[in-house]
Amino acid sequence: MSHAGRSHLDHRAAAPESIACYVLTVSDTRTPDTDTSGRAIRELLEGSGHRVTGHAIVKDDQEAVVSHVTRAIADAQTQVVITTGGTGITSRDGTYEAIDTLLDKRLDGFGELFRMLSFQEIGAAAMLSRATAGTASRTAIFVLPGSENAVRLAMTRLILPELGHVVQQVSR
């Protein structure tokens, strides 16, 4: 195996196994009882041995989203923030813009891969998703759609397999 081929394996081996994550649902209509996407993220994280440092539901309002995410980033315990909702193109969808103002670096590949995988499931409508990811103050941020199916796809195929590796790289 080439040196380049070993590098990502070495990084993965050095990655922390349990990551502390904050989960934020962005929605004008979801309640704790109907927040199936936020619940799915928390259950998938905990089922994989990660910790949920907190979770909340906030209205689809850019200032509210920025405020919640900024507080989560400031919490020294939180290594990753995962949001769900507000990534479409309606006039109320502002999560992408809110998070974009906070990012130091963008992980364009996350959104690209998510839309590719989503295309395989839902076809051309996948282009309407503005799922994204990046880093802010040495914290990884993943911005997911509000659909529970989309959340499960992103978590199982992209986020959970690389979460430790992403945190290991962001903390360097």
Range of the domain at 109: 3-170
Q: What is the pLDDT of residue 9?
A: 64
Domain total in the chain: 1
β-pair partners for 139: 136
Assign residue 151 the CATH number of its domain: 3.40.980.10
DSSP conformational letter for 102: T
Q: How many other CB atoms are there within 10 angstroms of residue 39's CB atom?
A: 18
Q: What is the pLDDT of residue 6?
A: 58
Q: How many other CB atoms are there within 10 angstroms of residue 135's CB atom?
A: 19
Write out the chain's pLDDT in tens, 172 residues: 445 555 666 655 667 789 999 999 999 999 999 999 999 999 999 999 999 999 999 999 999 999 999 999 999 999 999 999 999 999 999 999 999 999 999 999 999 999 999 999 999 999 999 999 999 999 999 999 999 999 999 999 999 999 999 999 999 9
